[in-house]
Amino acid sequence: MRVLIAPDSFGDTLTAVEAAAAIDAGWTRGRPGDEVVVAPRSDGGPGFVDVLAVHGGRVHETPVSGPLDRSVTARWLLDGDTAYIESAQACGLHLLRPDPATALAAHSAGVGQLVAAAVDAGVHAVVVGLGGSGCTDGGRGLVAALGGTPDAAGLAAARERLAGIRLVAATDVENPLLGPRGAAAVFGPQKGADDDAVAELERRNAEWADVLDAAPGRPVSTLVGAGAAGGLGAALLALGADRRSGAEVVADVTGQAALLRGADVVLTGEGRFDNQSLGGKVAVALARAARADAVPVVVLAGQVAVDAGDPDLRALGLHGVHSVAEHAGSVQLAMDDAAAQLAGLAEAIARSW
């Protein structure tokens, strides 16, 4: 049997590459005769650059402003005339200790500095992976870094600077910028925002949305993916970006369609499988892609927050959703001993396959 192992990262515990290695080790112990193909994935969030770099290009390191101004070294990929940028490298949640104060202060200036570095390198296209951010500034920082000021004048200057550059917003979610499904309401609490901070972030982004919507002459703040990475999606759309699923971008670059056609089963995973996963994250994107070839997809997740027996999951092409925390006996052990516990779960699934 040919097994394709294609997980996303498991939050802060395992990168996609590390998770793939753990699943490979466990499955091979359980079914040593199988042919295993390892192909870690990303939906545009943490690990986006590392996953793509396996398939070519040159990784650059650029010092930029972190989400709270302290400088960080961010990695981005130059492949031909296209730059791939991972927003989490510059403004990731892992770069701060989230609380209401940081939720209000965190910004995306470093992402704009990475885009500027790519443009200065002479690229013709910039693909920005959105996910895992620690900010909810609607992309004000990005606009200021490219155009000088976080206002309409700065947005106009940034649009002029990017004229002739194909810009792609590779999003991992489909949320708009504002409202009950918007960046502040849905993702703000994950970034340390309490109720008061969420309300303030929503107010700021509502004001900013008027600026973003006016520049391109269309309501970009309401578009699918505008709320990605704390509203970075909306700012990129206002700068002329096309929106694509981050998982689909990775699929195209890495030849995923051919990998799926040759597989008998796909093992994927992520840190937490929940309702947000159903909006276009790696596991569901893989399942939808594999459905055409009738290849079963099995999810191994750190935690599972949906009904694993839900018939709708099978309709998506998911033939099993398994929790590392349940296998380990506790969330804490699943996190403290992540690689070994993930490998153990993979081995158990392999033995029962």
CA dihedral 349, 304, 252, 111 (to 10 degrees): -140
Strands 318-323 and 35-38: unpaired
CATH number for 335 = 3.40.50.10350
Same domain, 294 and 259: yes
Query: pTM (2 decimals)?
Result: 0.89
Q: What is the pLDDT of residues 185-210, one digit of tens each?
A: 999 999 999 999 999 999 999 999 99
Say if residue 175 is in the same domain as residue 53.
yes
How many separate domains does the chain show?
2
- Dihedrals phi, psi of 170, to nearest 5 degrees: -95, 100
Q: Do 107 and 141 belong together in one domain?
A: yes
- The string of pLDDT tens digits covering residues 76-102 is 999 999 999 999 999 999 999 999 999
100: domain CATH number is 3.90.1510.10
**DSSP code of residue 183:** I
Asked if residue 50 has pLDDT above 80, the reply is yes
Domain that holds residue 87: 48-247
* Gap between the Cα atoms of 259 and 251, Å rounded: 10
pLDDT of 151 strictly over 80: yes
Give the model's pLDDT for residue 280: 62
Q: How far is CA 222 from CA 176, 212, 213, 219, in A?
A: 5, 11, 9, 6
Question: What pLDDT shows up at residue 279?
Answer: 63
pLDDT in tens, 92-133: 999 999 999 999 999 999 999 999 999 999 999 999 999 999
290 and 317 in contact (C-beta within 8 Å)?
yes
Average of per-residue pLDDT across 247-272: 94
What per-residue confidence (pLDDT) applies to 313? Answer: 73
Give the pLDDT score at 162. 97
38-52, 91-105, 238-252, 276-290: segment of lowest average pLDDT: 276-290
Rounded CA gap, 220 and 198, in Å? 21
137 and 193 together in one domain: yes
Q: Mean pLDDT score of the chain, rounded to an integer?
A: 94
Same domain for 347 and 302: yes
